[in-house]
Chain A
Amino acid sequence: MAVQEVLVYPDPRLKQLCDSADITSEITTNLITDLIETMYESGHSVGIAAPQIGVCLRVAVVDVSNNKLGKKHNHGLLVLINPEIIESSGSKTMREGCMSVPDYTGNVERAREIVVQFTDKEGVNQVLRCKGFEAVAIQHELDHLLGLLFLDRVSNPGTDIFKRK
């Protein structure tokens, strides 16, 4: 298991609908290790989803605890297997960027607070309430599992797309 190359759009694997992951399979266990290592290796990323390393399964990892925006509300490292958002409320706009869409950022409006249901890496079903940056990060990663990029969510082209330096 190792750090994997992060795919960049227009790789077609970023636009696919992912299949459910089998928690008992070795493929899933290895995938989780790769995702965690690849996320931490990037140094600045707070989440990554399986399609970003070329695997079309519903698995993502998120950890906002090392980012100043996530200090207040976080659950540390989250391994999200077959995640679903079952409740969402409020709204929060952040200027998002993505490792798979380099050089661009865009303002995206998302729910401020969510309840996410998933299986963790021990195979335990969990329901967590998340808010703020952590909630935004989870929504961004879950979009990847549906083949959606933040570019699909930008609201206003006039001021909402910025070329990153």
Chain B
Amino acid sequence: MQHFALTIIGRDRPGIVSSTAEIIYKLGCNIADSSNNILGGQFAMILILSHPQITDAEQLAKEFSALEDQGLSVFVRALKPGGEQRPDMPGEVCMISVYGSDKAGIVYQVAKVLSDNNINIVDLNTKLIGTKERPVYVMICETVLPAELPVAGLKKLMDTLKQQLKVDISVRTVTPVEL
């Protein structure tokens, strides 16, 4: 079945999910996966859809044009075969918390070290908190380590980064348990 990525964003108000889901349902699409959050004053939806007949992204996008009239921005992308499947990631799962006085480049510097060490970010949230006078940046990140990198290795990398960026960084493992 053809899979699509659909992203929708617009000023938050009640009814965005309902209008979107109505179109999806009436079209006969499956929602295979989705993440929907309020970011700033905007509601952002990212969905992986599949449809038994529709194969063309433009054709699908047309079906959502009514949302554009409601002031929402809509983008559809057709996935290549297998693009809906999450890759197998066998390494250790680690949460990383980064926080400190707001300054340029926190996300970049952290992400660069992770990327240089082949560490995969699977979930990332950032937020600007604190007061206007003393803004604080918070970055919470879930990562999967490559098989050859132990948790102690990641901690060492983050300790170095902590000195360089003058922010607080902590690392902890998450061990999923089957009960």
Pair from one complex: yes
* A118 interface contact, C-beta 8 A: no
User: With the chains together, A164 CA to B83 CA distance in Å?
Assistant: 17
State the Cβ distance, B118 to closest chain A Cβ, in Å: 17
B132 CB within 8 Å of chain A: no
CA distance A45 to B90 in the complex (A): 19
The dominant DSSP class at the A interface is: mixed
Q: Which stretch, A27-35, A72-80, A94-102, touches the partner chain B?
A: A94-102
Most buried by A among B89, B122, B140, B178: B178
B166 to chain A, nearest CB (A): 27
Rounded to whole angstroms, the CA-CA distance of A133 and B179 in the bound complex is 10
Instruction: Give the chain B neighbours of A45 by CB distance below 8 A.
Output: 178-179
**Which listed residue (A99, A141, A162) contacts B178, Cβ 8 A?**
A99
CB–CB B174/A159 < 8 A: no
| CB proximity of B44 to chain A, nearest CB, Å | 12
Q: Does A51 sit at the interface, judged by CB under 8 A?
A: no
Within 8 A of A (CB), among B128-169: 140, 142
Residues of B whose CB lies within 8 Å of any CB of A are 33, 35, 37, 86, 88-90, 93, 122-123, 125, 140, 142, 174-179
User: A residues touching B (Cβ–Cβ < 8 Å)?
Assistant: 42, 44-47, 67, 69, 94-99, 105, 133, 136-137, 140-141, 150, 158-159, 162-165
